[in-house]
Amino acid sequence: MVNDIYVLLICTAGIYSSFLTWALVQEPLTTKIWPNSQQQFQYPNVIAISQASVAMIIGYAYLRFKGLKYSPWRLCRDHSKSLFLISFTQSTANPLATYSLQYVDYLTYMLAKSCKMIPVLLVHLLVYHTSIANEKKIVATLVSLGVAIFTYGGSMSKKVSSNDLAQDSENYLSLFYGFSLLLASLFLDGMTNATQDKMLKANKAKKDGNIITASHLMFILNLLMIIWNLGYFLVADKSQITGSLAMLSLDPDILRYLLIYSICGAVGQCFIFFTLERYGSLVLITITVTRKMMSMLLSIVVYGKSVNMLQWLGIFIVFGGISWEALNKTKQKVDMEKKSK
């Protein structure tokens, strides 16, 4: 049990450190008006391919280092349906969320992405008919309630300080577009996590020695994501390639941000896939949701954003709910060990 807790703490620290840096780079990369081009770098599929390429290389190196007998190509053949579905939902969810930044601010984006516990549970219940413990349902509800209170507190502050903007019909329409994109992204995130969980559980149940590892998922899924995004470029949106190259030539600093973003995302994926493989999607979601809350707090401090009392209440509810689940899990493990003795 002690070793398991240490491993989970290392995974949590790895996810936090890599993705906190990732979030601090993502905000200026996607929302900043760059000085020479005088526009935002809104090319989400280019960003996705950049991160997937670095992650695929790291995943392949990890595979070679471990020397696993179960080849990624055989894995792709054995679980082709699940892998194509997971890679498709991932490839679609991330650009949709990035597109939403054209209509909502970064803090709203982070808050909405923190609600993914609910779609994961809904997909488990409605699509895969998986039973979910009541404690996890309560934690998911508390987390989402806390995020909702945080969002509402922020909107109240904006209404007090900018009534004219709040009454503008175009602003409401932009918010509708932004939240619609975020909701679609959240649903696809839920499909991704639930399908990964189902595939890993089915693989463990086979007991044929062909175990799916974090390195397998990292290499194959990122390779498939590159293919999906390249296909999108060729079929639907070639302008992203020309537009991004034009901006990079005018503002070469973007390349540095893009590289740091991609490396941090790839390193974070190593910890994410390992956590998913060892502990399952709901433990992973708990870690990533708290990480997103920390990212928001860091963004507030670094970029000088104000937070009112209602928003602090939302933060307290989120961390209170997740802390309660962690204590409950620890108690359950201790009770199980006592029974086994």
List, for residues 22-69, the tens digit of each pLDDT value. Answer: 888 988 888 889 989 889 888 888 988 998 999 899 888 888 887 777
pLDDT of 81 strictly over 70: yes
pLDDT tier at 166, thresholds 50, 70, 90: very low
Decide: pTM greater than 0.75: no
- Is the pLDDT at 74 greater than 80? The verdict is yes
Vertex 87: Cα angle to 74 and 185 (nearest 5)? 160
The CA-atom distances, in angstroms, between 233 and each of 45, 55, 174 are 8, 20, 25
Q: What is the pLDDT of residues 10-29, one digit of tens each?
A: 888 999 999 889 888 988 88
When divided into structural domains, the chain yields a total of 1
Q: 27-41, 166-180, 321-335 — which one is most confidently predicted on average?
A: 27-41
Residue 186: domain span: 2-340
Whole-number pLDDT of residue 329: 64
Nearest to residue 120, comparing CAs of 280, 339, 253, 291? Answer: 280
Write out the two tokens for 213: 């590892």
Q: Which residue has the higher pLDDT, 70 or 228?
A: 228
3-state secondary structure the chain: CHHHHHHHHHHHHHHHHHHHHHHHHHHHHHHCCCCCCCCCCCCHHHHHHHHHHHHHHHHHHHHHHHCCCCCHHHHHHHCHHHHHHHHHHHHHHHHHHHHHCCCCCHHHHHHHHCCCHHHHHHHHHHHCCCCCCHHHHHHHHHHHHHHHHHHHHHHHHHHHHCHHHHCCHHHHHHHHHHHHHHHHHHHHHHHHHHHHHHHHHHHHHHCCCCCCCHHHHHHHHHHHHHHHHHHHHHHCCCHHHHHHHHHHHHCCHHHHHHHHHHHHHHHHHHHHHHHHHHHCHHHHHHHHHHHHHHHHHHHHHHCCCCCCHHHHHHHHHHHHHHHHHHHHHHHHHHHHHHHHC
Are residues 44 and 99 in contact, defined by beta-carbon separation less than 8 angstroms? yes
pLDDT confidence band for 227 (50 / 70 / 90): very high
Separation of alpha carbons 30 and 42, rounded Å: 6
Q: Does the structure show a pLDDT above 80 at 154?
A: no
What is the band of 135 on the pLDDT scale with cuts at 50, 70, 90?
confident
Residue 86 vs residue 110, higher pLDDT: 86
Q: What is the mean pLDDT of residues 242-250?
A: 92
Tokens of 294: 């920390």
**Conformation bin of residue 40: beta by default, left when phi > 0, alpha when psi is -120 to 50:** beta
**CA–CA separation, 90 vs 191, rounded Å?**
9
Structure confidence at residue 115 (pLDDT): 66
Residue 259 pLDDT exceeds 50: yes
Confidence of residue 318 (pLDDT cuts 50, 70, 90): confident
- Tell me what percent of the residues of the chain surpass a pLDDT of 90: 11
